[in-house]
Amino acid sequence: MDSHRPATNFLSYFWRYSRFMPRIIFTEEFCQPENLHPFTLTRQIQDIRLGILTIREKWEHWLGLPSFDKWEDDYKDLDRSIRIDKNIGDDVFLMIHGNVLPTPKMIKAIDKLKNGEFISVNGNAGIIFRFTRKEVVEPHSIKVSKAVTIKDKIKSLQYPWEIFQWNAAAIQQDFELITGKRKSQPVSKTNTLIKPSNIFIEKGAKIEYSILNASNGPIYIGKNAEVMEGCMIRGPFALGQGAVLKMGSKIYGATSIGPYCTVAGEIKNSVLFGYSNKAHDGYLGDSVIGEWCNLGAGTSNSNLKNNAGEVKIWTPKGQMNAGNKCGVLVGDYSRTMINTSLNTGTVVGVSCNVFGVGLTPKYLSSFSWGNDGIDRYEFDKAVADIENWKKLKGKKLSKNERSILKHIFEHY
């Protein structure tokens, strides 16, 4: 990663002393965010966590620039949304597809990009556009004059199961980006470390009497995170800021635990976005858990069919194959009761209260109350319960969050 850092630092320096610092504008247009259900019900694609960072954070780190969102005229347009019209101001803008993961070649190409030009990878449609107010011809429409074509291996996130399938490579790239030329905090001698050069500990993190094996991939422990006694961790692994790994946890790569999550039990190749809990025993494998979720004690998922065949996943456009392994995809604010058994390839929508006898159905729509698919969570009760969970981590439900939840309740 050292070879990438100078380019990033140069761009940050260049932008800082230019007359107009460029601003990133992410767009979901042409990215088909509906294919990333249920996670894009409550967020835009660029705010999906993959590896250590969200897609937004990756681009901000690489370019050293602030980011905003293109006004898409839908219910997810929030305070940082920017309308592309003649009133956009005098800044230079880099409009980037929200589902595209950055690469070193893209960053170098952006450095040379001029106003009115766009980057095309392998001759395909443009994914990064540089423009000013002069290039805006009408609302949400810009004029481009030249394509800059590069050859590169591009990853554009299309489906939710790709989040855990791509997580190993994403952790590796983010680890190099975040830790390059920095020195890890020392690790207590009570721990056993395998390949310590591939382990990075941020300030304030606490780790005691645990085994960290980074021989198959890096291990990143975020600021003020805690690894309690007796944990066994195999990389690639990332524990976000303020997150807690409880005693005796068994973690297999490639797993990402987002900020302020609390987790325990056995976890393999899974991503928890942030502020969620899997605080007790139970198995979670090849899965993605949104924000503010809670998996009750003993909750476990199946990630492999008994016949080892293709796992079919519910999507808004019909069932699709997700490969041989796929566990559960859980939307924000959803919770399971104790000892819940989650079927192979289960999709749980936003703000579901999951309980019932036997295996869950393969799909639970947003605001489901129980597993029978008949009863719905009353909106006011759902919001009150979410607020209670947020209080446990010192947070409150914002007006924007409530507005998004109301739209999902009424339209999905």
**pLDDT, tens digit, for every residue of 42-75?**
999 999 999 999 999 999 999 999 999 999 999 9
User: What is the SS3 assignment for 275?
Assistant: coil
- Separation of alpha carbons 49 and 76, rounded Å: 17
Structure letter (DSSP) for residue 167: H
Say what angle helices 55-63 and 167-179 make with each other, to 10 degrees.
30
- Going by C-alpha positions, the residue among 327, 330, 325 that lies closest to residue 310 is 325
β-pair type (346-348, 328-330):
parallel
* Element housing 252 (H / E): strand 250-252
CA distance 275 to 278: 10
Hey, what are 241's tokens? Answer: 């800021």
**In a structure prediction context, what are the per-residue pLDDT tens digits for the chain, which is 412 residues long?**
333 344 455 455 444 434 567 899 999 999 999 999 999 999 999 999 999 999 999 999 999 999 999 999 999 998 889 999 999 988 999 999 999 999 999 999 999 999 999 999 988 889 999 999 999 999 988 999 899 999 999 999 999 999 999 999 999 999 999 999 999 999 999 999 999 999 999 999 999 999 999 999 999 999 999 999 999 999 999 999 999 999 999 999 999 999 999 999 999 999 999 999 999 999 999 999 999 999 999 999 999 999 999 999 999 999 999 999 999 999 999 999 999 999 999 999 999 999 999 899 999 999 999 998 889 999 999 999 999 999 999 999 999 999 999 999 999 9
CB of 127 within 8 A of CB of 100?
yes
Q: Take residue 172 and report the two structure tokens written for it.
A: 């590796």
Take residue 358 and report the two structure tokens written for it: 């036997």
For the entire predicted model, the pTM comes to 0.94
CA neighbor of 301 nearest in space, from 331, 343, 350? 343
For residue 260, give the amino acid letter: Y
Backbone angles phi, psi at 61, to 5 degrees: -65, -45
Closest CA to 57 of 26, 83, 86, 85: 26
User: What is the per-residue pLDDT for 6?
Assistant: 40
**Helix (H), strand (E) at residue 200:** strand 199-201
Task: Please name every residue paired with 68 in a beta bridge, in sequence order, or none if there are none.
Answer: 25
Q: What's the rounded Cα separation, in Å, for the pair 258 and 133?
A: 38
Q: How far apart are CA 169 and CA 173, in angstroms?
A: 6
Backbone angles phi, psi at 260, to 5 degrees: 60, 25
Express each pLDDT in 270-298 by its tens digit.
999 999 999 999 999 999 999 999 999 99
Place of tokens 């992410």: 26
CA gap 172, 101 in Å, rounded:
13
How confident is the model at residue 193, as a pLDDT? 98
Per-residue confidence (pLDDT) for residue 14, from 0 to 100: 45
What is the 3 state secondary structure string of 77-137? CCCCEECCCCCCCCCCEEEEECCECCCHHHHHHHHHCCCCEEEEECCCCEEEEEECHHHEE
Task: Give the residue ranges of DSSP H helices in 354-398.
Answer: 379-392
